């Protein structure tokens, strides 16, 4: 989605809660190809993503999180690697977000999987290879390469070999990656996160849960900045 909309409030565990609908200002998008059920609210109670088992699960989450553990603002980026608007966020907003907030200890950002196979045929496979790279602490390298080369792999009938080439560029161990991809467990993780996000009210990519507030759209830094500054001021005043 290339517009930014405040959907409502969501509590993060992964994402629990419901909230009022509000408008921030909008700019175009890639919605999920599934309609709301009759009477369904914009944000509803969510289930947690499936566990990989104790410490392994925590390490998988840490591998796709950047920023200080004690940062006063937590952002969950709910994204689809094949979504052009997610790539736009990566190219245009993320560098400024890192420079102004993440690197200064104000924001901690965690990536959440939300492939939309109805629209993006190769997205599920892209997320799986990124999660397998995360097991080797290579998530962010793979993340950047997937977005950088999105145009090269998005239309491939079988993107697997291309993804393995990107993994080589990310310096991931290919044998370990292939073992991970063949296990089926990562597919369950990716699909479980997508379902949990859907249950929480996410309907398009990219979407963001900013300290419990659900927003949809590319979130240009000019729109994101006043929200983050306001939250930061409120949270640091209480310290």
**Domain range 48-228, its CATH number among 3.30.930.10, 3.40.50.150, 3.40.30.10, 3.40.50.300:** 3.40.30.10
- Contacts with 49 (C-beta within 8 Å, 6 or more apart), sequence order: 14, 189, 192, 193, 196
Neighbouring residues of 10: CB distance < 8 A, sequence distance ≥ 6:
16, 17, 18, 19, 43, 46, 200, 201, 209, 212, 213, 214
DSSP state for residue 53 in the 8-state scheme: -
In the chain, pLDDT over 90 holds for what percent of residues? 70
Do the Cβ atoms of 234 and 108 come closer than 8 Å?
no
Out of 52-66, 97-111, 130-144, 216-230, which region has the weakest mean confidence (pLDDT)?
52-66
pLDDT, one tens digit per residue, over 44-99 is 333 343 344 455 566 688 999 999 999 999 999 999 999 999 999 999 999 999 99
Q: Structural domain boundaries of the chain?
A: 48-228
Q: How buried is 182 (Cβ within 10 angstroms: 0-12 exposed, 13-18 middle, 19+ buried)?
A: exposed
Residue 51 DSSP code: P
């Amino acid at each position: 989605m290339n517009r930014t909309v405040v959907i409502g409030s969501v509590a993060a565990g992964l994402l629990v809660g419901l909230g009022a609908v509000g408008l921030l200002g909008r700019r175009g998008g890639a919605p999920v190809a599934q309609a709301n059920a009759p009477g369904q609210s914009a944000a509803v109670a969510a289930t947690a993503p499936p566990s990989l088992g104790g410490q392994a699960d925590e390490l998988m989450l840490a591998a796709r999180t950047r920023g200080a553990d004690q940062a006063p603002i937590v952002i969950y980026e709910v994204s689809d690697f094949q979504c052009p608007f997610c790539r736009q966020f990566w190219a245009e907003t993320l560098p400024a977000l890192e420079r102004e907030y993440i690197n200064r200890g104000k924001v901690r950002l965690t990536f959440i999987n939300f492939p939309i196979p109805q629209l993006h045929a190769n997205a599920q496979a892209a997320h799986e290879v990124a999660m397998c790279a995360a097991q080797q602490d290579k998530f962010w390298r793979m993340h950047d390469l997937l977005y950088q080369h999105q145009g090269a792999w998005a239309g491939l009938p079988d993107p697997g070999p291309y993804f393995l080439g990107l993994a080589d560029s990310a310096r991931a161990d290919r044998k370990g990656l292939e073992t991970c991809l063949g296990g089926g467990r990562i597919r369950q993780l990716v699909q479980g996160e997508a379902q949990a996000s859907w249950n929480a009210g996410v309907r398009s990519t990219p979407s963001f849960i900013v300290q419990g507030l659900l927003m949809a759209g590319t979130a240009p830094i000019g729109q994101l900045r006043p929200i983050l500054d306001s939250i930061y001021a409120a949270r640091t005043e209480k310290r």
